[in-house]
């Protein structure tokens, strides 16, 4: 069962790589989605529904994968990543989305995608090849 879970992680890695390759497109789409979301009349447009489907499905699949990862033996890595996403990247995104230029938000998305890619690759490699006991490793750091 865990093999299927980490194979799904490999598939989600492609979503993050697409965000990493073209962060400007993601930034522009994020700003456009925000504008459409704030406009009541624009919520019925095809563009809004397309952006909601694209942004929602990809983001929630990746987020859901990381949330369910809290129930695995590698839960400390998942927890640290989720704290990083909600504590740092979400706040950075809130600040950069208010700016007129697209490049600060693109940089924010690029850094977030890079962190996701590194984390997913480490988790998959650790599961299939490295077999590092993360909990034991963290406990040895604190003692």
At 56, is the pLDDT very low, low, confident or very high (cuts 50, 70, 90)? confident
Whether the full predicted model's pTM is greater than 0.95, yes or no, is: no
Q: With bands split at pLDDT 50, 70 and 90, how would you rate the model's confidence at 143?
A: low
Three-state helix/strand/coil letters over 28-84: HHHHHHHHHHHCCHHHHCHHHHHHHHHHHHHHHHHHHHHHHHHHCCCHHHHHHHHHH
pLDDT of residue 54: 83
Query: Residue 82's pLDDT is what?
Result: 93
**Rounded Cα gap, residues 122 and 118, in angstroms:** 6
Per-domain residue ranges of the chain:
2-142
Per-residue pLDDT of 76-104, as tens digits, reads: 999 999 999 889 988 888 888 788 788 88
């Amino acid at each position: 069962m865990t093999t299927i879970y980490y194979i799904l992680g490999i598939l989600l890695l492609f979503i993050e790589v697409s965000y990493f390759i073209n962060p400007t497109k993601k930034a522009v789409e994020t700003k456009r989605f925000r504008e459409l979301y704030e406009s009541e009349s624009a919520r019925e447009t095809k563009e809004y529904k397309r952006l909601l489907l694209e942004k929602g499905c990809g983001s929630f699949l990746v987020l859901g994968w990381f949330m369910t990862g809290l129930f695995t033996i590698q839960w400390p890595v998942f927890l640290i990543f989720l704290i990083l996403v909600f504590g740092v990247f979400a706040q950075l995104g809130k600040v950069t989305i208010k700016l007129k230029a697209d490049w600060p938000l693109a940089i924010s998305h690029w850094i977030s995608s890079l962190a996701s890619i590194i984390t997913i690759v480490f988790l998959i490699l650790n599961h299939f090849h490295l077999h590092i006991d993360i909990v034991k490793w963290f406990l040895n750091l604190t003692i």
